[in-house]
Amino acid sequence: MDCILTIDINTSSVRIHAFDLTGEVLGMRKGSYPTFHPQADYSEQDPEQVFITTLYVLKNFINEVIQPQKYKVRALCFCAAMHSVLAVDKNGRPLGNAIIWADNRGIKEAKMLKKSAFRSPIYEATGTPIHPMSPLIKISWMRHQDPERFAQAFKFVSLKEYIVLQLTGEYLIDHSIASSTGLFDIHQLKWNAQALEFAGISPERLSAPVSIFFDEVPLKKEYSKSLGLSSATKVILGSSDGCSATLGSGNIAADRATVTIASSGAVRVASKEILADEKQRFFNYLLAEDYYISGGPTNNVGVVFDWYTQFFGSFNPGQEFEQVRVELLREATQVPAGAKGLLFLPYLLGERAPIWNANARGVYFGLNITHEQKHLLRATIEGILFEMYSIGKLLTDHRSFSSISLTGSYSSIPLFAQILTDIFGLPFNVNTKVDSVALGTALIGLTGMKYYNNLEEASASTHFTETYTPNAQNHELYLRYFEVFERLSGKLEEEFEMIAGLQ
């Protein structure tokens, strides 16, 4: 049987799926790698560790599943988290760790750009909000704060580009990842001159932008041989995780929204038009020509619940992290909605949409003497999901939704799905059989290989396995809590700045 392998390089792990040519899953393997936080605002990953893990998982998957089942791999199609930056020398060797999306070290450079005349032209040309997440800001930070590494850098690439470079020997970046750098003109499909000027680089120091369907570079011979793949196996560039998740959730239509809850999160809509916002609160990323994915991202979803589990979970000897997390979720279901009047602002990693404040910090609000650990647990989960609603609420000012899909690693957790449904007060559709990012990546590959005529047809082939319906009483209660949540997030702006200055 012919198949396509999707390789998703996300924040905490690489996930490799095999799909047949109708989009059905044949198997999956994953491998994890750590994120380092050498300082409060720093988030980094070792590119060599990410590449070696990817290669290890891919080889094991082929040895354990593909070859025993006699599947024939027709293509590898890639997908990755956005906004990472890695400086490499002339030989493609990393000059230090990759700076990933959660990193906020470029606060000063972001403020500098926001105050300049470049702010609106760059946002309108690139579709990327001005924030330290943006590779534009990270390169500018390196230029001013790490000039030796900046000068040594032959090119600035993302983790996905680095993996592709290792496997093919070519510097290539797909349009969707490029459009999340803050450096790429999504209208003219080329690097933006004003953004390059602000970053202090020429276009030659970036990879060549190509379509998500690009498949004109083969695997290096040593890798096709060691992996046991035919030299005819296509390498399809694919897209970003957010664009793939939207496609894989079946929502390539303006009246539908996709909510993703994973390590980070986002609320997205897809359409043929850019979502205009005078306050520049939304991103507009290019999936393919004339396909835009618009919405808002949050830094604080799975990483916050992992933080809570790590430091407040009860770890018995020999107990795995996942077991403790399951016990916490079971405990949280026993606490009534509203956590007995306790609220949590989840801004442990600063925040992007809708407040776009890299200095925002986490806050428990409303504590009294009757609160117990279980109330902090429930409030933590609800705070994460109130933040998702704050983005969705902004989008409903611009679009009306006929349906919402829930995707991401946390979408299969019933407690998260039901609370989110209750907060939004709208039905949520979930596909628990397959990861939407992997499916969306497979659909890009299959469209590029002409098994679908276009992305609409490919996206329409997806199905949902569950629908959550809102509890009206909980929805009414959550709206009252959200009013306080929203007011607090806005009122604490000065205090966030003050406490960040003390950390």
CATH classification at residue 157? 3.30.420.40
Chain centre distance of CA 100: 11
Last-in-domain residue among 243, 260, 275? 243
* Assigned domain for 62 exists: yes
Say whether both 294 and 166 belong to one domain: no
Q: Are residues 275 and 359 in the same domain?
A: yes
Question: Residue 137 falls within a domain, yes or no?
Answer: yes
| 253 pLDDT higher than 80 | no
pLDDT at residue 2 greater than cutoff 90:
yes
pLDDT of residue 330: 96
Residue range 118-135: mean pLDDT, rounded: 94
> Which residues does residue 5 pair with via DSSP β-bridges, in sequence order?
18, 76
* Model confidence band, residue 255 (pLDDT cutoffs 50, 70, 90): confident
Nearest to 223 by CA among 91, 45, 54, 46: 54
Residues 222 and 306 in one domain: no
237, 266: one domain:
no
What ranges make up the beta strands (E) of 60-168?
72-80, 86-88, 98-99, 155-157
Q: Of residues 273 and 361, which shows the higher confidence score?
A: 361
The 10 Å Cβ neighbour count of residue 31 is: 18
Please give the angle made by the CA atoms of 294, 299 and 301, to the nearest 5 degrees. Answer: 105
Q: Out of 187-196, 219-228, 319-328, which region has the weakest mean confidence (pLDDT)?
A: 319-328
Tell me the mean pLDDT in the region 494-498.
Answer: 94
Helix/strand/coil (H, E, C) string of 12-51? Answer: CEEEEEEEECCCCEEEEEEEECCCECCCCCCCEECHHHHH
State mean pLDDT over 15-21: 97
Among 186, 212, 243, identify where a domain stops.
243
Mean of the pLDDT values across residues 59-75? 96
Task: Note the pLDDT of residue 64.
Answer: 96
Least confident span in 162-176, 367-381, 403-417, 435-449: 403-417
Do the domain assignments include residue 464? no
Residues above pLDDT 70, as percent of the chain: 100
Q: Are residues 337 and 372 in the same domain?
A: yes
Residues 384 and 402 in one domain: yes
Q: What is the mean pLDDT of residues 473-481?
A: 98
Indicate if 89 and 41 belong to the same structural domain. Answer: yes
What was the pLDDT predicted at 12?
Answer: 87
CA 405 from chain center: how many Å? 16
236 and 254, same domain (yes or no): no
Answer yes or no: do 262 and 228 share one domain.
no
Does the pLDDT value for residue 314 go beyond 90?
A: no
Q: How far apart are CA 203 and CA 191, in angstroms?
A: 6
What gap in Å lies between CA 227 and CA 181, rounded to an integer?
32
Q: Is the pLDDT of residue 290 over 90?
A: no
The answer to the question of residue 437 being in a domain is no
Query: Which residues on neighbouring strands pair with residue 69, listed in sequence order?
Result: none
- Among the ranges given (53-67, 275-289, 361-375, 485-499), the one the predictor scored with the smallest mean pLDDT: 275-289
pLDDT at 396: 87
Domain that holds residue 82: 2-243
Q: How confident is the model at residue 23 (pLDDT cuts 50, 70, 90)?
A: very high
Q: Which of 181, 102, 175 is nearest to 140 (CA)?
A: 181
Which of 4-13, 428-437, 474-483 is the least confident region? Answer: 428-437
Is residue 233 over pLDDT 80? yes
Collect contacts of 354-359 with beta carbons under 8 A, ≥24 apart: 354/281, 354/296, 354/390, 354/391, 354/394, 355/489, 355/490, 355/493, 356/129, 356/131, 356/281, 357/493, 357/496, 358/41, 358/104, 358/107, 358/110, 358/131, 358/132, 359/104, 359/107, 359/496, 359/497, 359/500
What pLDDT does 143 receive? 97
For residues 129-150, give the mean pLDDT: 96
Q: Looking at the domain assignment, is residue 440 inside a domain?
A: no
Provide the H-helix boundaries in 171-301.
Answer: 175-178, 193-199, 221-227, 241-248
pTM score, whole prediction: 0.89
Q: Tell which of 243, 265, 299 closes a domain.
A: 243
320-330 exposure pattern, b = at least 16 Cβ within 10 A, e = fewer: eeeebbeebbe
Mean pLDDT, the chain, whole residue set? 94
Is beta strand 363-365 parallel, antiparallel or unpaired with respect to 343-345? antiparallel
Give yes or no: residues 154 and 132 share one domain.
yes
In angstroms, the Cα distances linking 334 to 301, 374, 471 are: 21, 9, 16
- Our count of domains for the chain comes to 2
- So what's the pLDDT on residue 49? 98
Whether residue 143 lies inside any domain: the answer is yes
Residues 282 and 401 occupy one common structural domain: yes
The pLDDT of residue 230 is 94
**In a domain? residue 82:** yes
Q: Is 266 helix (H, G, I), strand (E, B) or coil?
A: strand
- Between strands 234-240 and 265-271, the pairing is unpaired
Which tokens sit at 356? 């776009």
pLDDT for residue 186: 96
Q: Find residue 7's DSSP bridge partners.
A: 16, 78
The conformation of residue 205, written as its DSSP 8-state character, comes to G
Are 298 and 230 members of one domain? no
Q: Is residue 363 part of a domain?
A: yes
Q: Which structure tokens are listed for 390?
A: 């704050």
- Residues sharing a CB contact under 8 Å with residue 126, sequence separation 6 or more, in sequence order: 136, 179, 181, 182, 183, 184, 185, 186, 192, 195
